[in-house]
Structure 1
Amino acid sequence: MPTIEDTAVATDFPGFTTIRTIRTLFYNGDSPEVPYFLRDAFLLPQRFDKSETFLIRLGAEQQARIMSELPKNLEGLHLHVKRYNDKNDETFYKELKIFIEEEKIRRKLILKRPGELFLFYKDKYIVVTEELSRIPLSASEFIGIPSLLRQFNEDQIETVVQLPKELVILAKYVNVGVGTVEKLFEQLKEKKNTEKG
């Protein structure tokens, strides 16, 4: 099963021109470069393990919802919300660097393989084939995740093709955590590996 890090691709892709840098004094002025295609990227809190609650609170204050809302210098970002400190700024900065690099790799993968449907989970992905896309999201196909399957049913999400590209957002469902989402991903991976042909 490929991970995003395993994907070797060329570097000449549209949208990769740097449009800004984000600075901080945490790492001696280290400044990750934000490419154009990420200018208005939504900073999905679930993509930031240690900063998820921090980002949710910032979003409630209309701060740090999308990349272009981030200040040029992240120090002091915590001042927009109560009960957070500069350690939260530092943790978010570390995770933001990882997010930017993962997004660059994902973008290259999608551009290199146009027309293919992907499901992403953290640093891994699955290419959704026609056979995989038709599998019903039911207890007969997926075990150990009954609450998630029931909620899919309530939302009329019936087959694999209807899943969101970013699987971590499924943790938004009631009583569904990252462990449940990981179980779904692992079962999808197994089904993909046992496809005919």
Structure 2
Amino acid sequence: MRESPFLIYQSFFRTKSCLSVSLTRYAWTQLRYWTFAYFINYKFEILSSPSAIFLDVVAITALIIYVTRVALGYKQTWDRYQLLVNKTLYEKTLASGFGSVHFLLDASEQQQYKEAILAYAILLKDTNGQFLLQVTCHRNVGDDCERFLYDVFKVKVEMPVEEAMNTLVRLGLVTETPIGGRRTRLQVVPCEKAHEILKERWNSLLC
């Protein structure tokens, strides 16, 4: 019965392990002789037993499939490792001082402009299309904003309306005019004109 080269190699390396010696020139020569003898024997067996070809093809195909699966498994493990490393580096970047400051600045700016938009909408609603409103202080506008948030979202918040009003005045969307005493007249710019003002301001920043 013909022995496969894998059994020959296994027997050779088992002998090497038992003797606890490294491969010498003589051992390599013996291995080459065994391999050469195997292929000569294999050539004659092909002529006498065609079924041996089929068995060898099946064995080689199974070996290729096994090696492919092992290689793909290593590749998937490597990809998962790279993804984990990239995610860790990204989180460390966000957790750094600069990343934290940048995140806080972005969140603060977004909150500031959201408050300004809400205050502008409340002023438009309270003027009833006249675009003029007399108030004692900005706190009155803040109370209306807080009441709106509670009525719509059922959430009680304390809105710092002073910064929102300063933003609207700075952008030219609201005009303040003292009318004596502690009262102030607020003139709200209509939506169409507010759109033109913001568009011109944006274009001026790009120029």
Q: TM-score, normalised by structure 2?
A: 0.22
Which one has more relative contact order, counting CA pairs under 8 Å at least 6 apart?
1
Larger radius of gyration: 2
- Name the structure with the higher helix share: 2
